[in-house]
């Protein structure tokens, strides 16, 4: 019983067993597809064969590879294995990233955001349950969001400890895989973490130049241009205007347009970028307001990470990036809500974020999808977290 009682082994055992059960069921039901991973695997195969990497479908008709060439080189190693074996390794890596990521996120929130609160299983399990719908989809598709979140959290831990090189290199690797994480660079600049920025750019530079060792300089430049063009095309339409393609329905631009701005302007890229500019300005003012409190850096960092799926064209499992914000809200909610009114707002937002169980909700699930409930819930949790953080800091520091 010693291992069962040692924190957080119960989480490892319970959710490890759930992931194993899902793996077995997927195999038995013939649904172990991992279609997103199939794209990465296909991109790796394309490199090994000398076939086109971008602009062609790998696996499904919609399986266009949209990541940096270096990631394709990494998955070329997977492509040397039979697909079933490679997909199983990917599934295992996602599971391990979730289990260890939850431990790190819980510790980070308790230590850095809540003044060293004692460990407790209730908020840990509630956080995992709120995010389990997105974890299930992540496992079913074989995506890399949970692994990226794990890297981001490890990078933040290194930055907090003053390990600028490790933190910067890890952030550079994450930005190379998903350039949207470059929203973290202005935050690092505002906190004068120049060494971390330098190491991040060093990692990006190495990641861009490394494929040239195999492709040559001209081909390396051409393939990166093609990648950037693919990224730009993927994010061309950020406001949902109807139809069956719901990839943009959860963006903050779609919510604000449908709620308010549709009466004033037609949906366009200019509207989305203007809203993004307003969000950046407001967040910058929030950071400047907190500059006298260096301990605000971890909170601001995690808020920006949670914002990434709200401001980009993405799928639902990408909202796993908001897990640290969910953990912070739940820690403020249990075992007793702080402040008392928190449950009235937090519980509905948590439902919108992680309560869309399609098998349980039936047709109502389609309604939640159509109105972008996930995006509304995520952005609402971000705003709520900022309000709670600001209020608690004002109480702790009367001079503020």
Does residue 337 belong to any structural domain of this protein? no
- 5: confidence class by pLDDT, cuts 50, 70, 90: confident
Structure tokens at 193: 């973490």
Does residue 293 belong to any structural domain of this protein? no
Give the pLDDT confidence of 129-148 residue by residue, as tens digits.
999 999 999 999 999 999 99
What element of type H or E holds 240?
none
Residue that the structure tokens 């949902």 belong to = 240
* Region 388-395 average pLDDT: 80
What element of type H or E holds 102?
helix 83-108
* pLDDT exceeds 90 at position 63: no
C-alpha pair distances (Å), 26 with each of 34, 206, 303: 10, 38, 34
What is d(CA 278, CA 273) in angstroms, rounded to the nearest whole number?
9
Does residue 157 belong to any structural domain of this protein? yes
For residue 315, which of 39, 128, 44 has the smallest C-alpha distance? Answer: 39
What is d(CA 41, CA 143) in angstroms, rounded to the nearest whole number?
11
Which of the two residues, 235 and 231, has the higher pLDDT score? 231
Does residue 382 belong to any structural domain of this protein? no
pLDDT score of 398: 40
Question: Where does residue 88 rank: exposed (0-12), middle (13-18), buried (19+ CB within 10 A)?
Answer: middle
Structure tokens at 303: 């808020």
pLDDT score of 394: 58
Q: What are phi and psi of 372, to 5 degrees?
A: 65, 40
Structure tokens at 372: 């972008």
pLDDT score of 242: 82
Give the pLDDT confidence of 371-384 residue by residue, as tens digits.
999 999 999 999 99
With H, G, I as helix, E, B as strand and everything else as coil, classify residue 256.
Answer: helix
- 400: confidence class by pLDDT, cuts 50, 70, 90: very low
Does residue 189 belong to any structural domain of this protein? yes
* Region 167-185 average pLDDT: 96
Question: Where does residue 61 rank: exposed (0-12), middle (13-18), buried (19+ CB within 10 A)?
Answer: exposed
Q: How many distinct structural domains can be found in the chain?
A: 1
Alpha carbon 288 to chain centroid distance?
25
Structure tokens at 378: 């995520």
Does residue 161 belong to any structural domain of this protein? yes
What is d(CA 167, CA 197) in angstroms, rounded to the nearest whole number?
9
What is d(CA 57, CA 273) in angstroms, rounded to the nearest whole number?
29
pLDDT over 90, % of the chain: 84
* Region 352-381 average pLDDT: 94
- Boundaries of domain holding 228: 152-233
Which of the two residues, 244 and 33, has the higher pLDDT score? 33
Q: Count CB neighbours of 181 within 10 A.
A: 23
Q: What are phi and psi of 204, to 5 degrees?
A: -65, -45
Structure tokens at 175: 């930005």
pLDDT score of 55: 87
Structure tokens at 398: 């009367």
pLDDT score of 399: 39
What is d(CA 395, CA 400) in angstroms, rounded to the nearest whole number?
9
* Region 186-213 average pLDDT: 96
For residue 35, which of 141, 126, 118, 119 has the smallest C-alpha distance? Answer: 141
- With the CA atoms of 335, 286, 150 and 78 taken in that order, what torsion angle do they form, in degrees rounded to the nearest 10? 140
What is d(CA 116, CA 119) in angstroms, rounded to the nearest whole number?
9
Residue that the structure tokens 């928190």 belong to = 342
Q: What is the pTM of this model?
A: 0.95
Does residue 187 belong to any structural domain of this protein? yes
Helix axes 373-396, 363-370, angle to 10 degrees: 70
Residues recorded for the chain: 400
* pLDDT exceeds 80 at position 393: no
* pLDDT exceeds 90 at position 236: no
- 246: confidence class by pLDDT, cuts 50, 70, 90: confident
* Region 160-167 average pLDDT: 97
Does residue 197 belong to any structural domain of this protein? yes
Q: Mean of the per-residue pLDDT values for the chain? A: 93
- 104: confidence class by pLDDT, cuts 50, 70, 90: very high
pLDDT score of 62: 75
Which of the two residues, 2 and 139, has the higher pLDDT score? 139
For residue 324, which of 11, 106, 111 has the smallest C-alpha distance? Answer: 106
Cα-trace Rg, the chain: 21
Beta bridge partners of 57: 64
Question: Where does residue 202 rank: exposed (0-12), middle (13-18), buried (19+ CB within 10 A)?
Answer: middle
What is d(CA 332, CA 256) in angstroms, rounded to the nearest whole number?
27
Give the pLDDT confidence of 273-321 residue by residue, as tens digits.
999 999 999 999 999 988 766 579 999 999 999 999 999 988 999 999 9
Contact between 279 and 307 (Cβ < 8 Å): yes
Give the pLDDT confidence of 9-60 residue by residue, as tens digits.
999 999 999 999 999 999 999 999 999 999 999 999 999 999 999 989 997 7
């Amino acid at each position: 019983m010693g291992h069962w009682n040692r924190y957080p082994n119960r989480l490892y055992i319970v959710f490890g067993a759930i992931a194993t059960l899902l793996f077995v069921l997927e195999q038995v039901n013939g649904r172990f597809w991992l279609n997103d991973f199939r794209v990465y695997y296909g991109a790796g195969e394309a490199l090994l064969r000398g076939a086109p990497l971008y602009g062609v479908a790998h696996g499904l008709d919609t399986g266009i590879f949209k990541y940096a060439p270096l990631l394709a080189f990494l998955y070329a190693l997977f492509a040397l294995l039979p697909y079933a074996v490679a997909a199983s390794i990917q599934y295992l890596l996602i599971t391990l990233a979730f289990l260890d990521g939850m431990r790190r996120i819980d510790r980070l929130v308790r230590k850095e955001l809540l003044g060293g609160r004692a460990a407790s299983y209730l908020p840990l399990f509630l956080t995992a349950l709120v995010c389990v719908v997105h974890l299930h989809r992540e496992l079913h598709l074989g995506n890399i969001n949970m692994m990226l979140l794990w890297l981001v959290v490890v990078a933040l831990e290194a930055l907090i400890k003053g390990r600028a090189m490790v933190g910067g290199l890890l952030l550079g690797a994450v930005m190379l895989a998903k350039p949207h994480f470059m929203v973290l660079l202005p935050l690092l600049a505002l906190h004068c973490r120049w060494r971390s920025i330098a190491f991040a750019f060093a990692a990006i530079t190495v990641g861009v130049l490394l494929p040239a060792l195999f492709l040559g300089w001209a081909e390396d430049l051409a393939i990166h241009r093609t990648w950037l063009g693919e990224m730009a095309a993927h994010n061309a339409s950020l406001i949902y205007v109807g139809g069956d393609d719901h990839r943009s329905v959860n963006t903050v631009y779609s919510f604000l347009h449908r709620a308010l701005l549709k009466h004033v302007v037609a949906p366009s890229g200019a509207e989305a970028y203007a809203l993004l500019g307003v969000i950046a300005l407001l967040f910058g003012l929030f950071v400047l307001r907190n500059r006298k409190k260096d301990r605000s850096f971890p909170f601001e960092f995690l808020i920006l990470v949670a914002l990434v799926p709200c401001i980009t064209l993405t799928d639902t499992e990408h909202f796993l990036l908001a897990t640290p914000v969910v953990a912070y809200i739940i820690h403020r909610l249990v075992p007793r809500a702080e402040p008392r009114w928190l449950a009235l707002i937090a519980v509905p937002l948590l439902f919108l974020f992680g309560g869309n169980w399609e098998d349980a909700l039936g047709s109502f699930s389609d309604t939640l999808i159509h109105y972008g409930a996930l995006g509304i819930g995520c952005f609402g949790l971000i705003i709520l977290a900022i309000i709670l953080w600001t209020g608690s800091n004002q109480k702790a520091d009367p001079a503020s």
